[in-house]
Amino acid sequence: MGLLAFVATASAEPSFYTARVAPIFDRHCTACHGAEKQKGKLRLDAFEHVLRGAESGAVVKPDDVKGSELFRRITLKKDDDEVMPSDGKPLLAPEEIKIIELWIAAGASATKPLADFPTAPVPKAARAAAAALAPDWRPRSAEIAAIAKATGLKLVPRSQVATDGLVVRTASAPARCDDAALAKLAPIAPLIVEAELARTKVTDAGLKTLAQLPNLRYLDLTRTAVTSEGLGALGALRHLEALNLTETAVDGPGLAKVKAWPALKRVWSYGSKADAAAAAP
């Protein structure tokens, strides 16, 4: 068989890893385990990284589903400290877990063809559209770049799926982010799904801006000056799932209000006033 024939065959039949497994990692894991961040010294953005494993060693053991740390992590309960994805991000769907299970059980191969997995669940094409977290950001990339430049904020795609929205990050200079910088996000408000604002200068005034981000799901306000009063504005966010209030002045009554919001699944409040009051004898 000539080289050309080989190439043709290879592209006609994608591997199970490329077609089914890698998209799951891209969508749920590479924001923390990719080129930019490597939590636990683990990368999941290319096959060789996946098999190389983490700080603690291999996370995928070919043919050994139960012995694979990666599988253990994705099948923990949602409130387990070790569950992946971490930080209250949505867990994998049962079909996605099944796909990873079948892949490991069949030797965790990079090349085994899709056709070798006749019983694997097929993610419905419609699912992606139905599960869009935000409008496609790509047509607005020039505007996004201009806003990033004007504010000093990093505006990065949440995953390789263009309708998964953008994450607001402050990189290494959180103190440069204040209420005025957040206000400049208004033109791209629907695109933002996560805001990592720990240790920024954001105050209650900035929360009014954040309340205008209709698709915001995840918000980290660790060690900011926000108060219970200001948080009330965020009650309007229909998709907010996870809120980090570690080491803020948010008190018990404020926290109780927050916990009653319907979409909210996880709240962190260690070292806040609410936490101190709860710990007092």
User: Is residue 123 part of the contact set for ligand HEC (CB under 6 A)?
Assistant: no
* 19, 23, 38, 39: which one binds ligand HEC (CB under 6 A): 39
- Distant-in-sequence, close-in-space partners of 227: CB < 8 Å, separation ≥ 6: 204, 248, 249, 250, 254
Which of the ranges 48-56, 113-121, 125-133, 236-244 carries the binding residues for ligand HEC, by CB under 6 A? 48-56
Q: How many Cα atoms are found within 13 Å in the side-chain-facing hemisphere of 68?
A: 23
User: Is residue 74 part of the contact set for ligand HEC (CB under 6 A)?
Assistant: yes
In 110-169, the DSSP E strands lie at: 154-157, 166-169
User: Is residue 54 part of the contact set for ligand HEC (CB under 6 A)?
Assistant: yes
* 14, 23, 40, 121: which one binds ligand HEC (CB under 6 A): 40
* Footprint (CB under 6 A) of ligand HEC, residues 9-38: 28-29, 31-33
Please name which of 37, 2, 10 lies closest in space to residue 110, comparing C-alpha atoms: 10
CA distance 179 to 149: 16
User: Is residue 55 part of the contact set for ligand HEC (CB under 6 A)?
Assistant: yes
CB closer to ligand HEC, 38 vs 203: 38
* 45, 87, 95, 204: which one binds ligand HEC (CB under 6 A): 87
CB closer to ligand HEC, 68 vs 272: 68
CB of 237 to ligand HEC, least distance (A): 19
CB closer to ligand HEC, 104 vs 258: 104
Q: Is 139 left (phi over 0), alpha (psi -120 to 50) or beta?
A: alpha
CB of 257 to ligand HEC, least distance (A): 26
- Distant-in-sequence, close-in-space partners of 84: CB < 8 Å, separation ≥ 6: 29, 70, 73, 74, 76
Dihedral sign, CA of 76, 79, 83, 85?
A: positive
In the sheet with 242-244, reading across from the earlier edge strand, the strands are 154-157, 166-169, 192-196, 218-220, 242-244, 266-268
Number of Cβ atoms within 10 Å of the Cβ of 114: 16
* 21, 59, 99, 255: which one binds ligand HEC (CB under 6 A): 59
Residues of this chain that interact with ligand HEC (CB under 6 A) are: 28-29, 31-33, 39-40, 42, 54-56, 59, 69-70, 73-74, 82, 84-87, 89, 92
